[in-house]
Amino acid sequence: MRCWSQNLALFEYEELSAAPDPGWPDCFNSGVFVFRPSLNTHIQILEHAAQHGGDQGVLNTFFSDWAVKDIRKHLSIVYNLTVGTIDILVLYRYGYHAKFVHFLGGTKPWHLSYDPQAANESSFRDSIKNFQQFIHLWCDSYKLKRMTIMKTIIYSCNFSVTTHNPPNGLSAETEVDDLEHRSMWEEGRADYMGKDAFNNIMRKHDLFLY
């Protein structure tokens, strides 16, 4: 998922607002949705999730009246433009106004080899060639972000060597570990039996809810 602009207008929508799923238009796609933070709702969804599948199935069965209750809660496709699943004519009509681009499916931009100087980007699958401009923009943003992170880590390493007192109370080794952990997530290699176990994720969620 990549956000291309500020989307303050979303704060004017009520729970649960979302864009239709391109393959199942009577369901919403869970990539982008508007909700009202609530500990009570959180608990109910956890109980509900024990009987249903992934995030999209859980949310659609929990907010099961989304399709028919209130058309005002149906977000425009520009808030969740799904790469590789919509018709090229839809892209021509709405692509320029896209606010969120959702790289749907198993193939993500970081799985593709990308050479910005190459004239022929044969690495892109046929199903997503029409979205190359979004992938180019994602890759450019990604490279810029990675360069910023690496510069920060290099600075932290140098700082720790010269002062033995890393900034913000974090060691250079910790920052390197965090970068490696992020890289594993980006490559689809989450440590579900360790650091990324469900209970650890829930503890982090609870920090924001309590």
Structural domain boundaries in the chain: 1-105, 129-210
What is the pLDDT averaged over residues 154-177?
49
pLDDT at 157: 45
3-state secondary structure 128-190: HHHHHHHHHHHHHHHHHHHHHHHHHHHHHHHHHHHHCCCHHHCCHHHHHHHHHHHHHHHCCCC
pLDDT at 118: 47
| Architecture (CATH level 2) of domain 1-105 | Alpha-Beta Complex (3.90)
Q: In Å, how far are 125, 130, 141 from 122, measured between CA atoms?
A: 8, 13, 21
What is the pLDDT averaged over residues 171-197?
71
pLDDT above 50: residue 179: yes
Q: Please, are residues 95 and 56 in contact by the beta-carbon 8 Å criterion?
A: no
Name the most confidently modeled range: 62-66, 153-157, 173-177, 181-185: 62-66
pLDDT above 50: residue 124: no
Number of Cβ atoms within 10 Å of the Cβ of 115: 10
Q: How confident is the model at residue 156 (pLDDT cuts 50, 70, 90)?
A: very low
**Residue 36, both tokens:** 């009202």
pLDDT at 195: 82
pLDDT above 90: residue 35: yes
